């Protein structure tokens, strides 16, 4: 299966991404990985990437897995959905500290920082965040209005 999974109401697996249009929903489950939702409110197109690691260190066959390759690829795919110029905003979630070992302890923070830096370089504003903590969460992007819903077990859903 490719890194780009195109389907209505899709669940995005680790290292994958998807694009959708008006009325479709995209969702993913996150731990230390970062969920990145990009959305154009005028054209009602959006995309969601499940980013596992900050940097691919060069060309990769799995661009959805890495922040430095997933973000440009997601933007490229969204641009192909429309004939007009995109006006994107970003919402990010995840990056939890899920591991107690020193080798993996900071991966969530590194993923968050990589996404923030790349989006800043590409001049895509981050308008909402739900990051960190020690628990996993479900992230859902609703392309009808660009809302992102975050769900953590035992807590009320949060709308970004």
Evaluated on CA atoms 141, 137, 58, 2, the torsion sign reads negative
Residue 58 CB-density burial (10 A; 0-12 exposed, 13-18 middle, 19+ buried): exposed
Angle, to 10 degrees, between the axis of helix 107-121 and the axis of helix 67-80? 40
Rounded CA-CA distance 155/88 in Å is 29
Rounded CA-CA distance 143/82 in Å is 14
Rounded CA-CA distance 115/82 in Å is 24
Rounded CA-CA distance 41/137 in Å is 24
Residue 33: active-site member = yes
Q: Which of 33, 87, 115, 131 is catalytic?
A: 33
The residues assigned a catalytic role are: 33
């Amino acid at each position: 299966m490719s890194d780009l999974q195109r389907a209505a109401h899709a669940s995005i697996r680790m290292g994958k991404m998807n694009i959708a249009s008006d009325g479709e929903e995209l969702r993913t489950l996150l731990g230390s990985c970062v969920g990145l939702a990009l959305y154009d409110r005028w054209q009602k197109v959006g995309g969601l990437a499940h980013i596992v690691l900050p940097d691919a260190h060069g060309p990769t066959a799995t661009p959805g897995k890495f922040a430095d390759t997933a973000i440009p690829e997601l933007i490229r795919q969204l641009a192909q959905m429309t004939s007009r110029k995109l006006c994107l905003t970003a919402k990010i979630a995840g990056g939890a500290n899920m591991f107690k070992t020193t080798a993996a302890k900071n991966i969530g923070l590194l993923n968050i920082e990589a996404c923030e830096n790349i989006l800043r370089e590409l001049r895509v504003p981050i308008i909402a965040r739900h990051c960190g903590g020690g628990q996993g969460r479900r992230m859902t992007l609703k392309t009808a209005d660009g809302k992102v819903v975050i769900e953590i077990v035992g807590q009320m859903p949060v709308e970004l």
